[in-house]
Amino acid sequence: KVDSCTDGYGKNSSLVTIFMIWNTMMGTSILSIPWGIKQAGFTSGIILILLMGILTLYCCYRVVKSRQMIPLTDTSNWEFPDVCKYYFGSFGQWSSLLFSMVSLVGAMVVYWVLMSNFLFNTGKFIYNFVHDINVTDIVPGTNGSNKVICPSAAGDHPPQNRSVMFSSGNRTGFELFEEWWDKSKTVPFYLIAVLLPLLNLKSPSFFAKFNVLGTVSVVYLVFLVTVKAAHLGIHLEFNWFTENEFFVPEFRILFPQLTGVLTLAFFIHNCVITLLQNNRNQENNV
């Protein structure tokens, strides 16, 4: 790091970089893991998490050691695509870059969906508050106050995951708001107007430090789920291949959907060599 450099050319600390990458990979996937376990089944989901963790850990270890396995060549400044080029030629180099980009694009798509949902719910909450609209969720409650959302509705029960709205204002105004504040048709484009000015900032360290704040959200989610699980207790019903209204089977043929989620959650191979190299450079400078 050059002492005289201006904002936009400095480097982040190792801690900031680690949290940024961890939040990008694990932060987007941890929200999808419950859905992935539902698709794979409870028992097969737990097994897949362990197996995928071991597999990706071994792959990461091989990537770290890959530069040391190349003799008579200075690989101190090599990245992982350079190693792939040495063994597999241009095909290996561009393939590693392509699949790394696929993983990063997948993370960006997940982030865009999450941010669109957040913006949509925030705008809807503000509109309901300003116009004195009360929203009553038609979902079963656990103890009369805490609400839970079931994955499906059974029989002639009221539709789940929806809301009944009692408005004291103009119905036409509410319909107009619903038309212009749509979760999939308009709000994702409004998000462009919000984020486009931020993309013009010169300093990438701003985005890194801002991204670290997402780590706080992930920790909060883990803590909240732990507290809720301890409060509600453990409810297991072992249905090995059939599901009922409230429980999924232990094994389902849709388990590849969970492996896709875990691939993103455990993927760090495209930057692990760079992280190690930066840490060594910082240690040498010190």
In the predicted model, is pLDDT for residue 181 greater than 50? yes
Write the DSSP assignment of 154-203 as a string of letters.
-TTSPPTT-EEEEESS-HHHHHHHHHHS-TTTTHHHHHHHHHTTGGG-S-
In the predicted model, is pLDDT for residue 107 greater than 70? yes
Instruction: Name the more confident of 245 and 55.
Output: 55
3-state SS class at 8 = coil
Q: Using CA atoms in the order 58, 59, 63, 66, what is the torsion angle rounded to 10 degrees?
A: 70
List pLDDT tens digits, range 224-276.
Answer: 888 988 888 877 777 777 777 777 888 888 888 888 778 777 777 767 777 66
Q: What is the pLDDT of residue 208?
A: 66
Q: How far apart are CA 262 and CA 252, in angstroms?
A: 17
Mean of the pLDDT values across residues 163-184?
Answer: 68
In the predicted model, is pLDDT for residue 86 greater than 50? yes
CA torsion sign, 105 to 258 to 28 to 280? Answer: negative
Q: What is the pLDDT of residue 280?
A: 59
- Ramachandran angles phi, psi of 30, nearest 5°: -65, -30
Mean of the pLDDT values across residues 213-224?
Answer: 78
Specify the residue for token string 């993103």.
Answer: 264
Least confident stretch, 29-33, 61-65, 93-97, 115-119 = 29-33
In the predicted model, is pLDDT for residue 284 greater than 70? no
Q: What is the pLDDT of residue 91?
A: 92
Q: What is the pLDDT of residue 28?
A: 64
Q: Which two tokens stand for residue 127?
A: 């509109």
Q: What is the pLDDT of residue 204?
A: 67
Q: What is the pLDDT of residue 187?
A: 92
In the predicted model, is pLDDT for residue 93 greater than 70? yes
In the predicted model, is pLDDT for residue 15 greater than 60? yes
Instruction: Name the more confident of 7 and 270.
Output: 270
Specify the residue for token string 């450079």.
Answer: 281
Q: How far apart are CA 224 and CA 230, in angstroms?
A: 10
What are the sequence ranges of the domains in the chain?
Answer: 14-137+169-284
Q: How far apart are CA 103 and CA 108, in angstroms?
A: 9
Residue 190 identity (one-letter amino acid) = Y
In the predicted model, is pLDDT for residue 122 greater than 80? yes
- Ramachandran angles phi, psi of 164, nearest 5°: -110, 130
pTM tops 0.75, yes or no: no
Mean of the pLDDT values across residues 31-50?
Answer: 87
Q: What is the pLDDT of residue 163?
A: 44
3-state SS class at 146 = coil
Question: Cα–chain-centroid distance for residue 64?
Answer: 25
Instruction: Name the more confident of 143 and 265.
Output: 265
Average pLDDT taken over every residue of the chain: 74
Confidence grade of residue 7 (pLDDT, cut at 50, 70, 90): very low
